[in-house]
Each structure stands twice: as structure tokens, then as C-alpha cells.
Structure 1
Amino acid sequence: MDYETIEMQVSGGMAVVTLNRPDRRNALNSQMRAELLDVMRRLPDEVRVVVLTGAGEAFCSGQDLGDGQSLNAADFEGVLRDEYEPLLKAIYDCPVPTISAVNGAAAGAGANLALATDVVIAAESAVFLQAFTRIGLIPDAGGTYWLPRQVGFARAMGAALFGEPVGARQAAEWGMIWEAVADDVFDQHWRQRAQALAQGPTTAYAGVKTAIRASFDNDVDTQLALEAQLQGECGKSRDFREGVMAFLEKRPAAFEGR
């Protein structure tokens, strides 16, 4: 399918989805949200990792304030419910690992779009900004969910109330993102990271995602039972057998994935 606001390239099990409105700093309008949702729902079977990144200097500047919906307060609840929620859940529920390769500023809904993925890798020059209170709004697009879980109550509250930029290195130190990488090696680095996941055991990766997310709500007995169930599923996979054989034969594993 041809898209106007995004691009997708699939190679070697890796799908790279690029937000492609550089003249608007990749701001999210209704069309981009619809196209992103379509991509996430129609991933080819061979895809084993999904990367979100941005064209030009920014990752995503958030909601497009030039979009007519943005200025109609009566639409906010509907837009979040009908457009953002399905998109964020499609990213969150993706059966394969997801990465945000944050090449520049990630602001407002753009920051929280990045935080919805499993792993965030940012260029050192990138910043994350919960800019909502600057225009009289609260963090949305999952911001009030991701932030407290990633950085704790105090930092989440400060980031939301003050709306100050958080640099990539600080974000990594806080635990908001996985790592900050020097700009001159950023592109090469995230591609190597993504390719490593694309060549990995996807059944195990799906189990990791399920177990770690469930741990926030489970007591220890429930969590241990879930671990046993998921490990049982992994233990029946061909990738487990391949991993053991590769270990015994002292060679790299050739995982099949899903």
C-alpha cells in the first residue's frame, strides 16, 4: 500500500517505518495516525522487528496544531479514543519487538509515541518534551501511563508539570529510554540493534514482553505461574532446541523466529 505521510521498508526481517512529514517536523495529523495504524495491522509475516523513526531533523513534534481537529476542544476525547488509542495499542500489542530510533526532538504525543515501543534508542542530540501544559493540556497518548512506570512518580510529575525538555543522556540515566548514542554513529547503531532482534527467537521475545508487563499488576504467585507457563511454551519451540545445540557446538544460533 502506498502512504503519503510515512514510509515503510522491509529487509532482513526488519520493518523500518519512517514518519515522513519533515516540513512539519513529522507532526501527527489524522492521516498519519491512520497510516501508522494500517502499517501496524498489516505487517508482513516475515517481519521480526519494527523500527519507528523520523525523516529530517525531528522524530515527531506531536499533534499537528495546524490540523483542524486540534483547535476544536470538543474533538479531543474522540480523537484520542478513536485515533490515538487504537494506534498506541497496536504498537504496544505488536507480537514482535518494537524500537523507536529517536533521531531528533520528540515532543508531546510524539514523545509518548516513542515511549510506547519496547525499546527507545536516541541520538544524543535528541530531546523528549512533555509540552502539554504549555498549551493548557495534560499529557496524553499514553504519557500518564508510560512515564510513571519508566521514571517513577517524582520525575514523571516534574516532567509533566514543568514541560521542560529532557535530553537523551538524561532520559537514559532516568530509565526513560534504553540508551543515548552519539549522533555520528546513531543510524548505524540502531540498525545493528534492530537486526540483532530480527535474527533472534521471537517466541522468547513475545514471552519477555508479556511477562515483564504483567509483573506490574501481578502478585508473586501469579507472576511465577505466568513465568512457568511462558517458559513451557518457549521450551517447546525449535528456537530453544537450536539455541541449545548452538551453545553445545560453540557456534552462533540460527533462530527461525515465528
Structure 2
Amino acid sequence: MTTPILAERTDSVLKITFNRPDRLNALTTEMLTLASDAAGAAARDPRVRAVVLTGSGRAFSAGADLATGEDDHARHTATIDAANRLVRTLRDIPKPVLAAVNGPAVGLGCSLAVAADLTIARTSAYFLLAFTKVGLMPDGGATALLPAAIGRARTARMALLAERIPAPLAAEWGLIAQAVPDDEFDAETERLTARLAHGPTAAFAQTKRALNATALTHLDHALAIEREGQAALLSTDDFAEGVNAFREKGTPAFAGH
């Protein structure tokens, strides 16, 4: 059986890889929990000086897994809680986190990519808040992380219209640090990782702490509101319609309730 999360330490770098390539790294509660555990352990391990978050195969992550056939409310809210824990861990770990977005970052995958300290992406990758396509709202801290990066208007465009934002445009907006040509992506990831891993770790930690305190002051509040709103939306007819259309690869007919 394939391990859904790979956590591999090489010298002073911990690489966490979403590892369900056959499902475009669709995220489960187990995957999010394992990733949080790995990142949390890295925070306590003096040997680790930088963390890399990426995906296997052709996607970073397609977001939360909606194709399991299990639609119970408790399963979905457990996934939200696990996602919130991972976002908080990525922000709180006193070491730099690089998200190497190797392909599409969709839904919760987009939130996690933006939760890193530095985010780079292949030119062919894109970012998509797809939540409204299934009758849901953004979660994973997206309602705080994205406005801090690109402002309210662009966040609203992404969140309400569920438009794909190509990596070059995401870089132009400031959603990510850099879009890298596909054939240079691996080398650039290694270069940035080495720079972070051999840099002034304590200075990075204090810089990150200050940025959290100034640019992300409302993150905890956003996570709480997202959880409350998402929990309510999970019981709506529109969500049921959206998931059914997603599984049948059709277009949902939302009734507005």
C-alpha cells in the first residue's frame, strides 16, 4: 500500500510530500494529520533547519478528497480540523517552510501552498479556490492568507468565481514568490532549499514570528469562522448537489439553499 505522506530528512532539510499521485494528491484527514505530525517533529528537531512541502506526480494537491463516497458530516469536519492544525503548524514552526508547487494547487491545496513562508510554482501550475463549485466556502485559512497576499478584491474573485489563476499571474499578483519554468523547477527548488537550510535559522524564525504578528493577525479568527461556516454548508442541498455533480463530472444546478 502506498504511504500517503512521505517525510524524508536529508541533512538539515525535511521534505514532506503528498503522495497519492493517482488521486492528484487529494487530501484526507489521515494525510493532513501525518503532515502536521511531521512538521511538528521538525520544529523540535535541531537537525532540521528548513521544511519543503510538495506533491508527487503531476499535482501539488487537488484539495480535500470528495470522491470517497462517504459524505458524513463528522468525516468532513474532521478533515477541516486536521487542515487547520496543519496550517497553524506551518505558520508556527520556527523554521522556514518552502512550498514547491509542482502542479495544480486546488481548494485546500491552494490554502496549504499559500500557508508556506515561500511558495514557488512551475509555470504550468495553477491555483484555484474551487470551493463554490461544490457549494462550499474557502477553508484552510484561505480567507486570511490570501487577502494578506493579494488583497480582498482578488481574493473575492478567486473565492466567488472559482477561476484558475496560472502560476505566472499568481506571481504577478503576489500570491506566490516566483513562477519557475518547468524545466528549471527542480533545480530552483534545490537552490532555495539550500539557501534556507544554510541561512540564519534564528533570524528566519524571528522574521516569521513578526510577519505572523503583523500580516496574519486574524488567522485564528478566520480558521474558526471558516470551520463554523463550512460545518453549516455541509448540511445544505447545494453541497449535496455539488458533490453529486463533481462525482458524475456534470454541472451542478444550485437551488441556493
For the criterion TM > 0.5, the same-fold answer is yes
- Give the structure 2 partner of residue 26 of structure 1: 25
In the superposition, the TM-score normalised over structure 2's length comes to: 0.79
- Give the structure 1 partner of residue 122 of structure 2: 123
Question: Which consecutive residues of structure 2, in runs of 5 or more, have no partner in the other structure?
Answer: 218-257
Q: Distance in 2 between matches of 1:199 and 1:162?
A: 41
Equivalent AA in structure 2 for residue 182 of structure 1: P
- Give the structure 1 partner of residue 168 of structure 2: 169
Between 170-179 and 44-53, the greater mean CA deviation after superposition: 44-53
What is the CA distance between 1:41 and its match in structure 2?
A: 1.7
What is the CA distance between 1:68 and its match in structure 2?
A: 5.2
Larger Rg: 1
2:133 is equivalent to residue 114 of structure 1: no
- Give the structure 1 partner of residue 84 of structure 2: 85
Residues 34 and 181 of structure 1, relative CA distance in 2, 3 Å threshold: same
Could you list the per-position Cα deviations for residues 153-180 of structure 1 after superposition, in whole angstroms to 9, with x for gaps in the alignment? 1100011000010000000000000000
Residues 170 and 200 of structure 1, relative CA distance in 2, 3 Å threshold: same
- Give the structure 2 partner of residue 207 of structure 1: 206
2:155 is equivalent to residue 156 of structure 1: yes
Question: Root-mean-square deviation (CA), in Å?
Answer: 1.6
Contact conserved, 1:105 with 1:126, CA < 8 A, in 2?
Answer: yes
Could you list the per-position Cα deviations for residues 213-253 of structure 1 after superposition, in whole angstroms to 9, with x for gaps in the alignment? 222488xxxxxxxxxxxxxxxxxxxxxxxxxxxxxxxxxxx
- Give the structure 2 partner of residue 57 of structure 1: 58
Contact conserved, 1:62 with 1:109, CA < 8 A, in 2?
Answer: yes
Q: Distance in 1 between matches of 2:34 and 2:68?
A: 16
- Give the structure 1 partner of residue 48 of structure 2: 47
Q: Distance in 1 between matches of 2:95 and 2:87?
A: 15
Aligned partner of residue 42 in structure 1, secondary structure:
helix
Tell me the number of residue pairs that the alignment of Structure 1 and Structure 2 aligns.
Answer: 214
Could you list the per-position Cα deviations for residues 46-105 of structure 1 after superposition, in whole angstroms to 9, with x for gaps in the alignment? 110000011000000000112355x23465444323x12211111110110001000000
Contact conserved, 1:29 with 1:67, CA < 8 A, in 2?
Answer: no
Between 45-54 and 11-20, the greater mean CA deviation after superposition: 11-20
More relative contact order in 1 or in 2 (CA 8 Å, sep 6+)?
A: 2
Q: Distance in 2 between matches of 1:168 and 1:147?
A: 15
Q: Distance in 2 between matches of 1:172 and 1:107?
A: 16
In the superposition, the TM-score normalised over structure 1's length comes to: 0.79
- Give the structure 2 partner of residue 72 of structure 1: 72
